[in-house]
Amino acid sequence: MKANKPSLILFFLALICTVIFDCTEQDFLAVYAKAIVLPAIIFYFLVSSNFKISKTETLIFVFCFIGHVFDLMDIEISEIGGVISFLIVYILLLRFIIRNQERIKLRKRDVLPVSIVVIFIVYLLISVLSLQSDSMKKFNFIYTFYGIILSILSYYAFVTYITRGTHIALLMSLMAISYIFSDIFYIFNEYFSHSVVLVLIRDVTQILAYYFMVEYFLEKIKIQKKNYTIIDLP
């Protein structure tokens, strides 16, 4: 068994336990299961990358951890603290993606699917922001800015996949989709009464977002290694 496999197995076991405990409203056990998720996936990344990590990746993991802690603490400032933490994560991710991707060039055949993506993202943004709880209305500007940054991140991920269709673009898109659905269903869980389906989708997408993000980072490392190998060849 590879050195990174145990941490990945632990990650998915924590995912399953989190879903089971949250859906059955065993909050005490769910907290312990959720506490394992992020450390497990971070350790998986570190082992898989031979403990090589950039400053931006470090900051992303740090703010993911801070946001995760706010979620687990469940205190008065947890909601806004989590939002600010993940807003920083999205800004760092957007910066990381833009800096590490080639410029997107749209072809004529890409115009229609890209237009559909833009309309879909704008529709989601407006629809979700209209479902604001009382706590959200207090920080309307932050939530709006949060939604805009996530929308830009998603747009860039989807358009990259439409125009290039590479494996790394697919991982980027899956990461964006997971973050979108996790945030949407987080709001749904706050806005509507408890529902097993809503909790299930929220937990699964939130945790899978970490997995796809890490796989995106690892794929980026593989591509960089291949490029360096090609350059070094005589």
Note the pLDDT tens digit of each residue in 48-82: 998 889 999 999 999 999 998 888 887 777 788 88
pLDDT at 47 over 70: yes
Note the pLDDT tens digit of each residue in 124-163: 888 887 876 555 666 778 888 999 999 999 999 999 999 8
This prediction has a pTM of 0.90
pLDDT value at position 233?
44
Mean per-residue pLDDT, 160-171: 90
Looking at per-residue pLDDT, the higher value among 110 and 42 belongs to 42
Q: How many other C-beta atoms are found inside a 10 Å radius of the C-beta of residue 198?
A: 20
15-19, 106-110, 127-131: segment of lowest average pLDDT: 127-131
Note the pLDDT tens digit of each residue in 198-210: 889 999 999 999 9
